[in-house]
Amino acid sequence: MFVLLNENFVDRTECLIDIEDRANQFGDGVYEVIRVYDGEFFLLHDHLRRLTYSLEEAKIDYDIRHHKLAEQLQKLMDMNEFKEGGIYLQISRGASPRSHPFPADTKPTLIAYPIPVSRPTESQEQGINAILHEDIRWLRCDIKSLNLLGNVMAKQTALDAGAKEAIFYRDYDHITEGSSTNVFIVKDGVVKTHPANHFILNGITRLYIFYLAEQLQIPIVEEVYSIEELKHADEVFISSTTSEVISVTNIDDVQIGNGKPGPIAQKFLDAFFKHKDVEQLSNTN
């Protein structure tokens, strides 16, 4: 497998990263997971726009355009003859002797490589169980940071409980997002999801759902909602690059709606591939 390491394409076994790269000691970096369907990137430019946002907010000095990143990623796909799955990409602040302050004159480290992703068709057909979990993460969830310990711990708690996702709440009551997904509820035909602020990652799939809602004329609002609203929703569903759209049919043993994937989630899923050629979603939300 070829890996993009900064400007070079190297074999995985030759991808040498310094032990003092700040990604290792501090999780000091940002990342993206970009879906590839049938040999084509899905929403690449939206992912690159969010990557730019994460880099700017984290004050990591890496210019995507200067490095012609879109072209490099295309080359990475071509070299790997990659058709189906995802590209994982991370940019750290770079390697430097361990010390908390930003190092002077250190160049960021970029790695990108293909990862296997298959469509979650069984979960989409049957729905999944989720648990509620206190949101134990920091307050800059809008940055797609490498620091995922809170997410990882919550996901494992969900798996240990026989569920597939942990839905986070803050302040005893307000639902934010999933451990690796955005969360939506449907009540009386209206879709509701947490506003895009520092409590959540503004998912690219979330933005795509706003776009699809416009196409399908499904009302959708960004509003904070409570655990009670979540449990009494007609439908709950999650979204992400790897999940697309998946209905949540049980939360902590409370059945959602009739316990089956709901019609609105199904509409989004049906439309998902019809509108896949949309160029760029930026500023649709």
Catalytic residues: 144
Considering the complex, state which of residue 123 and residue 181 has its C-beta at the smaller distance from ligand PDD: 181
Q: Is 206 in the site for ligand PDD (CB under 6 A)?
A: yes
Structure tokens at 86: 């995802």
Instruction: Candidates 102-110, 127-135, 236-244, 271-279: pick the segment binding ligand PDD (CB under 6 A).
Output: 236-244
The distance from CA 45 to its chain's CA centroid, rounded to whole angstroms, is 15
The least distance separating ligand PDD from the CB of residue 68, rounded to whole angstroms, comes to 22
CB of 151 to ligand PDD, least distance (A): 6
- Residue number, 99 or 138, with CB nearest to ligand PDD: 138
- Looking at 123, 205, 247, 249, which residue binds ligand PDD (CB under 6 A)? 205
Q: Which of 242, 250, 266, 285 binds ligand PDD (CB under 6 A)?
A: 242
Task: Return the number of the residue (89 or 251) whose C-beta is nearest ligand PDD.
Answer: 89
Residues in 178-197 that interact with ligand PDD by CB under 6 A: 180-182
**Binding mask 2-31 vs ligand PDD (x if CB under 6 A, - otherwise)?**
------------------------------
Count of beta carbons in the 10 Å neighbourhood of residue 72: 18
- What the block records as the tokens of 229 is 């609203």
Is residue 54 close enough to count as binding ligand PDD by CB under 6 A? no
Residue 117 interacts with ligand PDD (CB under 6 A): yes or no: no
- Return residues touching ligand PDD (CB under 6 A): 33, 151, 177, 180-182, 201, 203-206, 239-242
